[in-house]
Structures are given as structure tokens and as C-alpha cells.
Amino acid sequence: MDNDLTRVQYRVLINNTHYYPSDGSFTKLGESPQNLELTINSKDIKIDDRNTLKIEFQDYFGTTDYWSTQFIGTYSGLMFKDVYGQYFSSEIGEVLQYLDFGIIIAGQTTIEHEVILKNQYGYDVKNVHLYANTANFPTGMTCEFSTSLSPFLPHSDLKLSSVLKNNEELPFFIRLKTELGATPDANGSFDIIVRADKA
């Protein structure tokens, strides 16, 4: 204990729910001041909505005080969104919605879909590389990317030479192309993958 006997313990609440420790108890008494570092999962917050983070402190004598702040919840990483701002997946790859191409007829090319890539890392990135995981594609089907719609300049992947700044959005377009005689697949799906380096 220091001279004024102020050892402290704490607990963390998110949106009035106990987060750490999860049972709602306080941590053990420790020296004051304490540095707190917690990683908060997106599953535990409201995305694109207001959240409240509250840290309650209790000293050696049982006196309680708190610190509180509000923040808008976001995913972290390079995120894919539709033109309405809805995410396709969480930062851990949990599917939130599919990019639906509908019924694809062999020998035809689908309409182009616009997808928005947003950098939500908290820092700038470079060497952005977009591509499709086509390992489960039917024979005779390809995925094409373009940075413009008119004209659509088809590429099997996109490598961006510019830096994508934090919170910057980059629209791109994607379509599927099939050959006559392409293997039918009743419920085909694929992943769009993005890689980048810290700038």
C-alpha cells in the first residue's frame, strides 16, 4: 500500500453488461494508478451504433468511483460493404450477408456488382491485393474485378499501387463469367480475399 492506503480494484462494463471480470466482481486490489488494456470483440458491442464503456473503481476502503465514455462501434480491418453501407462479413470472417449473383446461365456473364472496400485498421495500408478464392469454382467459371464500371476492365485480381488511408473507402466492381458447358452448381459460393501491408 502507498502512503494514503489507496490500492484500487476495478471492473469494466459495456452497455451496462459486465465485461471484465465477466462475473461482475472487482479485480484484486492493486497499486494506483493502474494501466488498463482490454481488447473488445465486435460481438460484444453494437456496430454502427452508440456504445457505453464504463470502468468502476473501488479503493481499499470500499469507496467507488467510475469513468465512462461513449463510442460508435466499428469492425476493425479491411472491410467489405455494399452500396448501402451494410457489411458483408465481420472482421473474423463471420458472414453477415452474401453478394448474390442469382441464377447464372452457362455461357453468360453476370451483371457487375459494386463492393466497397473500407480501411478500418486505424492506420494506412499499402500493397492492397484483392482476389477471389476460386478453389471450389465449377469448371468454366471465372471471377473478374475492375476498379471502374464503365468501362469494366476485367482482371482476375486487383493490385492497388496507391496507399489506402485509414477510413478511406475504395469502390470496385465484380462479375462472374461462364463458358458454355460450365459445370452446374446449385449453391456455389466463393470468398473475396484482401491482403495489405501497413504503410
DSSP secondary structure of 1-15: --TT---EEEEEEET
Phi, psi of 141 (to 5 degrees): -120, 140
Same domain for 67 and 156?
A: no
Structural domain of residue 56, as residue ranges? 8-72
Are 42 and 53 in contact, with CB atoms under 8 Å apart?
A: no
Report which residue type is found at 70.
Q
In this structure, the answer to whether residues 135 and 159 fall within a common structural domain is yes
Identify the band that residue 1 occupies on the pLDDT scale cut at 50, 70 and 90. Answer: very low
Rounded to the nearest integer, the mean pLDDT of the chain is 89
- H helix intervals, the chain: none
What distance, in Å, lies between the first and last C-alpha atoms of the chain? 45
Is residue 34 a contact partner of residue 93, using CB atoms and an 8 Å limit?
no
Q: Are residues 168 and 117 in the same domain?
A: yes
Q: Last residue of some domain: 72, 95, 114?
A: 72
- 66, pLDDT greater than 70: yes
Give a yes or no: residue 3 inside a domain.
Answer: no
What pTM was computed for the model?
A: 0.75
In the chain, the number of structural domains is: 2
Give residue-wise pLDDT tens across range 23-58: 999 999 888 777 888 888 888 899 889 999 999 998
Q: What is the CATH number of the domain that holds 187?
A: 2.60.40
Q: Does residue 1 lie in a domain region?
A: no
Q: Which of 12-16, 152-156, 163-167, 189-193 has the lowest mean pLDDT?
A: 189-193
d(CA 23, CA 18): 7
Say whether both 63 and 89 belong to one domain.
no
- Answer yes or no: do 68 and 83 share one domain: no
Out of 75-79, 103-107, 148-152, pick the least confident: 103-107
Contact 125, 196 (CB under 8 A): yes
What pLDDT score was predicted for residue 126?
96
Assess whether 67 and 84 both reside in one domain.
Answer: no
Cα–Cα distance list, 29 to 26, 33, 61, 150 (Å): 8, 11, 11, 64
165 and 138 housed in the same domain: yes
